[in-house]
Amino acid sequence: MPLRRGLLDPGVAELGALAARAGLAPADPLRQPLAEARDAAERYHAFLNGPALPAEVREVEAVGPAGSLRLRLIRPVDGGAGGGDAPLPVLIYFHGGGFAVNSIDTHDRLLRLLARHGGVAVCAVGYSLAPERRYPHQRGEALAALRWVVRHGADHGLDPERIAVGGDSAGANLALGLALDARSEAGPPLSFGMLLYGMFAHDFDTESHRLFGGGDYGLTTGRMRWYWRQYLGRDAMTRDPGAAPLLADLRGLPPLHVAAAGLDCLRDDSLRLARRLEEANVPHRLVLHDALPHSFAGMTRHVRAAEDAVIQAADAVRLHLRR
């Protein structure tokens, strides 16, 4: 597949120029101390998010594997798919950021869009960042979030019988991992999964890394290597299916919406996952957004194609969670 320089959505380039004029750029932890990169990520995404979209927001806490775990419940202001005061289905969501940067706040607009168009309450998980906490700590926090929704969600107007998981990039890794863990978890089965340009395997010998890993479209192979080191540590096994869920036994998963960015060094993670899902007879839909780069779900205020892609994913959630 040739490098498709001319097919980048023009709105993405316009957004980059707009951010540069505002003196902002995406975080780069290879060139910035980690604390500085995290601050830069918060400022950059605050610019991307813009004014907050209408939603009902509530902060709660769950018990995680090593103390308190922050959760944010975001409900659509129109009542969502449940109608009126009926309990809402739930999308448990994990933000991206290579396990090392970003937060619930950086993904605020995306979370509100998913609640609005998915007709769900989004339960955003403020999981611990690496390297302060490493795998498998975040997998334990993901399971703690699911258990909180099952045990306490009804007290907050949530329907514990209709739960989906979702995430982008590293968050998609956690979402897929939670779907795998939930197969043996007591309680209602997960209904659906939504995975956006996921980080599913510690593997850089792919066509998409060769084509897009140099940085023309943002994310680089070098940065991905750094993210994996933060998450796993230098001596960790990179073929552990718990950390790299592409390598896991995928049988018995719920239906999945898998969205890949066409101009992304992680594109082939999603394409390979779709092939493995096919082999495991897991119902799924693979959507390749050819003209978009990694992290497009954060560009919805400025890039129409990115907003359309997010709405398409939210529609899939709505379809599978409605009664």
pLDDT (tens digit, 9 = 90+) per residue, 58-107? 999 999 998 999 999 999 997 555 445 789 999 999 999 999 999 999 99
Element at 273 (helix H, strand E)? helix 267-279
Question: Which pLDDT score, from 0 to 100, does residue 81 have?
Answer: 53
| Residue type, position 17, single letter | A
Predicted confidence (pLDDT) at residue 271 exceeds the cutoff of 90: yes
Question: Which pLDDT score, from 0 to 100, does residue 234 have?
Answer: 76
State phi, psi for 97 to the nearest 5 degrees. Answer: 140, 25
Angle between helices 34-49 and 10-21 (to 10 degrees): 110
Closest-CA residue to 15 (of 311, 264, 296): 296
Per residue in 7-62, pLDDT (tens digit) is: 899 999 999 999 999 999 999 999 999 999 999 999 999 999 999 999 999 999 99
| Residue type, position 144, single letter | A
Instruction: Copy the structure tokens of residue 317.
Output: 């959630």
Predicted confidence (pLDDT) at residue 238 exceeds the cutoff of 90: no
The architecture of the domain spanning 5-321 is 3-Layer(aba) Sandwich (3.40)
Question: Which pLDDT score, from 0 to 100, does residue 85 have?
Answer: 72
What residue spans define the domains of the chain?
A: 5-321
pTM: 0.96
Element at 263 (helix H, strand E)? strand 256-263
pLDDT, mean of residues 147-167? 97
Half-sphere exposure of 228 (CA within 13 A, CB side): 22
CB atoms within 10 A of CB 205: 7
Predicted confidence (pLDDT) at residue 281 exceeds the cutoff of 90: yes
For the annotated catalytic residues, the residue numbers are 169, 264, 294
Collapsing DSSP states into helix, strand and coil, what is residue 259? Answer: strand
Predicted confidence (pLDDT) at residue 131 exceeds the cutoff of 80: yes
Can you give the three-state secondary structure of 82-148, one letter per residue? Answer: HCCCCCEEEEEEECCCCCCCCCCHHHHHHHHHHHHHHCCEEEEEECCCCCCCCCCHHHHHHHHHHHH
Average per-residue pLDDT for the chain: 94
